[in-house]
Amino acid sequence: MFSLAGKKALVIGIANSQSIAYGCAKAFREQGANLAVTYLNEKAEPFVRPLAEELGADLVLPLDVTKDGQFGALFDSIRQHWGRIDICVHSIAFCPREDLHARVMDCSRAGFATAMDVSVYSFISMVRGADELLERAAERAPTHHLATVDRSVPTLRFSPAAKPRTSPEASTTSTADITS
């Protein structure tokens, strides 16, 4: 494998030991990275904190992406503790239950807005907050874990898609364009 010794990794989205975010955090830690892990709220903390401690995370911090100021507080803590960041993983998504199981064209306006806010705008907020803590310009070219990312059109600009699942891909392409 390769070494991530000395690298600082922020992992957003650990829900349980089966989550993609947990798998990423575990792999980063196994390769020597230092970890910062977030949890949604007091209800989620008892589930996430033991996993973060098992991984030896340096920081375990709250992050409710729907609340203004939370990303600022998160990155202020990271700045104070580490001074920089090398890796960011955004692995969160949400859609209200009544809209999740409906056809896209039956999705409510409020449900769509919530899905976009949590699943997409939070990614943009993460990139914005991490930007000044990333040390090299090449590290400012975000990627997204969706398998479809390799089909992105290089000239694509942000345009919220009808499906929340595809919007992170569009925003990833756009933020890579504006941050590189």
157 touches 171 (CB < 8 A): no
Domain membership of residue 47 (yes or no) is yes
My answer on whether 105 and 180 are in the same domain is yes
My answer on whether 41 and 6 are in the same domain is yes
The single-letter DSSP state of residue 104 is G
Q: The tokens of 139 are what?
A: 């590290």
My answer on whether 67 and 7 are in the same domain is yes
Q: What is the pLDDT of residue 1?
A: 66
My answer on whether 79 and 111 are in the same domain is no
Q: Which of 129, 20, 149, 135 is nearest to 71 (CA)?
A: 129
Domain membership of residue 130 (yes or no) is no
Q: What is the pLDDT of residue 169?
A: 56
pTM for this structure?
0.78
My answer on whether 77 and 114 are in the same domain is no
In the block, tokens 């919530």 appear at: 114
Which domain does 11 fall in, by range? 1-92
State how far the Cα of 106 lies from the Cα of 125, in Å rounded to an integer.
28
pLDDT tens digit at each of 180 positions of the chain? 689 999 999 999 999 999 999 999 999 999 999 999 999 999 999 999 999 999 999 999 999 999 999 999 999 999 999 999 999 999 999 999 998 887 888 889 999 999 999 999 999 999 999 998 987 644 454 554 443 333 333 433 333 444 455 555 555 554 454 444
My answer on whether 149 and 68 are in the same domain is no
Domain membership of residue 131 (yes or no) is no
What is the DSSP annotation of 25-57? Answer: HHHHHHTT-EEEEEESSTTTHHHHHHHHHHHT-
Domain membership of residue 167 (yes or no) is yes
My answer on whether 67 and 113 are in the same domain is no
Total count of domains within the chain: 2
